[in-house]
Structure 1
């Protein structure tokens, strides 16, 4: 097998691995969001039940909703990464155009920038 074919296979393997990682993270996240919303509905029903006098209205509910909002934002980032994968642009840094290192994508599968470009982008945002 020549070097070009091996590179294509390695690239395909990397791509398949990363898509599986994105998909698995997405599934776990959707399950967590559904569970949190289900628990929130149950708490609301208990609080609204006759004779409860609203005792279930704890400030923790606001934290739960904030966490769901964060998880939904993360879900949107993962969905965008899946779309980039379908478009063939996933795994390339939007800053420098280089391939984002695999360990970074394994840690943050929705990353759009390599670490140096991300640091520069964040510094510019301040």
Structure 2
């Protein structure tokens, strides 16, 4: 069985970063808009970017939570598609990945 201590720490650290970023995004989106039409248009474009960043962050949080659940289940590091072991180098780069390189390439 693989030692997941370092991966768990990396995932929890990233989860904390994302949580902080999402709270910041929510705060920014709650700010009132300018009454000036041109400024309002620019602010709305900025809001769209922030919303997209928020959605990306939420998706990453879901992947991290799933990886942490796999750790609790004892299946972390096993490809959820084919069951093969995920390479150490891949986990070091993408600790939340559920797929081995082969399955990810075919996804």
What TM-score do you get using the length of structure 1 for normalisation?
A: 0.73
CA RMSD of aligned residues (A): 1.8
Q: Which has the higher contact order (CA 8 A, sep 6+)?
A: 2
Count of aligned pairs between the two proteins: 104
Residue in 1 aligned with 2:69?
A: 83
CA contact (8 A) 1:21 1:106 kept: no
Q: Secondary structure at the match of 1:19?
A: helix
Residue in 2 aligned with 1:30?
A: 19
Residue in 1 aligned with 2:56?
A: 70
Residue in 1 aligned with 2:40?
A: 56
Q: Secondary structure at the match of 1:56?
A: helix
Structure 1's unaligned 5+ residue stretches are 1-7
Moved over 6 A (4+): none
Residues 10-34 of structure 1: CA distance to partner in whole angstroms, max 9, x if unpaired? x3xx311111111111111111111
Residue in 2 aligned with 1:20?
A: 9
Alpha-carbon separation, structure 2, partners of 1:57 and 1:85: 45
Q: Which has the larger radius of gyration?
A: 1
CA contact (8 A) 1:21 1:109 kept: yes
